[in-house]
Amino acid sequence: MLARRRMQRVGFLMVLPLLAVLLGLTMYPFGYMVYMSFFRYSLASWEQPQFIGFSNYLDIFRDRTATSSVSFTLLILAVAVPLEMLLGLGVAFLLRDTFGERVFRSVLLIPMMVPAVVAGIAWKMLYNFEFGPVNYFLSLLGIPKISWLGTQFFSRLGVILIDVWQWTPFVFLVLYAGLQSLPRDVVEASFVDGASGFSAFRYIEFPLLRPLLFVVLIIRVIDALKIFDIVYMVTFGGPGSSTHSYSFYIYKVGVSFGWDIGYASALSVLLLLAVSLLVNLLIRMLRLRETLEL
């Protein structure tokens, strides 16, 4: 007993330096961010930080650009994420046990492996009004040229399409692996009993995949709320502020133009709270569904 306690104490002492570094690199910046969110502190001025309480948080609700960035982020969450889930699940189901499965699987994973900077530059050229391939192929169908990056509707649609293109392969990969791991004997038994492929998927495979679907959904929700790279590379928030995502607006306020550390900290704290509440809500929904099924 004494030897076990001594070994545990030695192990804790050996881990303690790494734990201290980890806490210093994570907890201290987080605590300092929360602390600075109650101050007026701009690096563009020579003034000392001034305590203003919850004024930064109240200013968020009066800031039109902040509310616009929230609406655009929620639009991505409401449109892009469901599309990615449906397309990923559909492709995983259709591609399973098909001829050339490995080749198609490798090709489908290419968008996920392309760095965001490269993807952003490529899509910016694809969306070019005069010489972009997208408008060229649309012209072959008799559709006039579209200003993909010049109008609010099409610029938002363009960002959503890029997000779907980039992250549908991730959903496909996870769900494809889940389908491959399902017990085949149960599905084959349903075929013997006269079930069709769709019925077997609906009543057997889909319920078994549901926990994995929730996990993928949670991951994609978190990523969608933090979307930054595509907006930065393709539209830079334009035209105007129509494609400002919430994370991109935090970057503009705190780093790019504003240098307003206090206000950017308040925006970041609200983003963290929103992500935490939404993820906890999804987890509770999953647990509630599991409880009802039991």
Model confidence pLDDT, tens digit, residues 196-248? 777 877 788 888 888 889 889 999 999 999 999 999 999 999 898 899 999 99
- Tens-digit pLDDT profile for residues 50-99: 999 999 999 999 999 999 999 999 999 999 999 999 999 999 888 887 77
Which contiguous run of DSSP H or E holds residue 278? Answer: helix 261-293
Q: Taking 90 as the threshold, does the pLDDT of residue 12 lie above it?
A: no
In this prediction, residue 288 carries a pLDDT of: 61
In this prediction, residue 270 carries a pLDDT of: 94
> Amino acid identity, residue 126?
L
> Percent of the chain, pLDDT > 70?
97
Two tokens, residue 229: 């790279």
Of 174, 157, 162, the closest CA to residue 109 belongs to 174
- Tens-digit pLDDT profile for residues 172-209: 999 998 888 887 777 777 777 777 777 877 788 888 88
Q: What single-letter DSSP state applies at residue 49?
A: P
How many whole angstroms separate alpha carbon 256 and alpha carbon 44?
Answer: 11
The second-level CATH assignment, the architecture, of 54-293 is Orthogonal Bundle (1.10)
